[in-house]
Structure 1
Amino acid sequence: MTAPVTPAPAARRAFRFTGWHMTMILVAFFGIVIVVNVYMATLASRSFSGVVVDNSYVASQHYNTWLDEAAKEKALGWQVSAVRQADGRVAVSLIGEARPQNAVLGGEAWHPLGQEADRTVSFRKAGDGRWISIDPLPEGRWRLRLKLDGDDAAGHHAVRLQQML
């Protein structure tokens, strides 16, 4: 007698890489690249105008003067910091051994993206080496150039406010 013949298990079909697979890989790859590029471009356009100075050549003519001013400031031994408080006023602190005691602080603030008009900022003395602006600055990014005048010292101090003001 012969044994009944059972059919062999169905052979597994081997995976076949087709043009559709390659198309899907390319679409997914370039889709991710495009999404990331759009995201990065959006972040860049919201945070930086692309203009550091209006005229690079004219700015380069003042470069050595700026370096000399920076060297003079460093020699004074002062550190200047500025922070926007919750009420919008700017608090400035002058830290250092030989800081002037009877100084008057003033300055100007400008919006690096040009969305707000430049402003003159006036300060009142708030203690030893501390000043607070009289008027608040609106929220946003601001650059602040401070001018310290006094009997015992005078100087210009450029301070870039690092936080979003």
Structure 2
Amino acid sequence: MNQGVAQRTFTGHHMLFAMASFFAVVIAVNAVMATLASSRWSGLVVEDSYVASQEFNSKVSAIRAMAASGLSGNLSVSHEVVHYDIENRGGAPAMVQDVTLTFRRPVGDREDFQLVLTRKAEGRFEVEHHVPPGDWIVEILSRNRNETVMHEAIRVNIAEFGR
């Protein structure tokens, strides 16, 4: 018989340690995932879903009227300047007094911001502002004499400049 080998047995204490370790890992992973999920996205789509549902038909009518007007816009972001051009169906600059852009992240609202563009020429607006790289949903509101003439939302990806 070999005297140098000690005989080990799997006891209840070993089983208790194994089970406690397993559940500790499961609970820790769930806690980390819940913390990340709640800190990344507010979950808020609209402030009040009932009010949003009541306004839906009027918003659809307004969007159809804007689409029929033939106005189109072009947003461009380069380095530290944001440009927006708006034109009529024939390509002539549109009669617009002010343009407001709202930049929203697709997930989360901590980095959202709004820009009021400066009119540089008829149908041409711009503002100097650094837009952080990544995906953005840009809501563009163009107004003439306090009346909305164009309202659109586009998704853009801003590349990190200098790469």
Q: How far apart in 2 are the matches of 1:54 and 1:64?
A: 18
Question: Cα deviations across residues 58-84 of structure 1 (Å, max 9, x unaligned)?
Answer: 11112233444555667769686665x
Asked if residue 145 in structure 1 is aligned to residue 136 in structure 2, the reply is no
Q: Indicate whether 1:90 and 2:82 are aligned.
A: yes
Runs of 4+ with deviation above 4 angstroms:
12-15, 68-83, 91-94, 123-126, 137-143, 160-165
Counterpart code for 1:144 = V
Secondary structure at the aligned position of 2:102 is classed as: strand
Give structure 2 stretches of 5+ with no counterpart: none
**Contact 1:148–1:155 under 8 Å retained in 2:** yes
- Where structure 1 has 5 or more consecutive residues not aligned to the other structure, the ranges are 1-7
Shift of 1:14: 7.4
1:120–1:22 distance in 2 versus 1, CA, 3 Å: same
Other-structure match for 1:40: 33
Contact 1:78–1:99, Cα closer than 8 Å, also in 2: no
Q: 1:74 to 1:80 in 2, by over 3 A?
A: farther
Greater strand share, structure number: 2
For the Cα contact (< 8 Å) 2:119–2:126, is it kept in 1?
yes
Report how far residue 53 of structure 1 moved. 1.8
Name the counterpart of 1:28. 21
TM-score, with structure 2 as normaliser: 0.55
Q: What TM-score does the superposition give when structure 1 sets the normalisation length?
A: 0.55
Distance 1:162 1:45 in 2: 24
RMSD: 4.7
1:113 is paired with a residue of what secondary structure? coil
Q: Conserved in 2, the CA contact under 8 Å of 1:108 and 1:145?
A: yes
- 2-structure distance, mates of 1:41, 1:163: 29
> Compared with structure 1, are the counterparts of its residues 106 and 21 closer, same or farther at alpha carbon in structure 2 (3 Å cutoff)?
same
Give the corresponding residue for 1:52. Answer: 45
TM-aligned CA deviation for residue 102 of structure 1: 0.3
Structure label with greater radius of gyration:
1
3-state SS of paired residue (1:49): coil
Indicate conservation of the 8 Å contact 2:99/2:142, yes or no.
Answer: yes
Indicate how the Cα distance of structure 1 residues 114 and 125 shifts in structure 2: closer, same or farther if over 3 A, else same. same
* Count of matched residue positions in the alignment of Structure 1 and Structure 2: 147
State the Cα distance separating 1:142 from its structure 2 match: 6.7
Question: Could you say what secondary structure the match of 1:134 adopts?
Answer: strand
CA contact (8 A) 1:81 1:93 kept: yes
The percentage of counterpart residues that share the same residue type is 29
Matches within 5 A, 1:61-140: 61-69=54-62, 83=77, 85-87=78-80, 89-92=81-84, 98=89, 100-103=91-94, 104=96, 106-109=99-102, 113=109, 119-123=114-118, 133-136=126-129, 139=132
3-state DSSP class of the match of 2:109?
Answer: coil
CA distance in 2, matches of 1:43, 1:82: 33
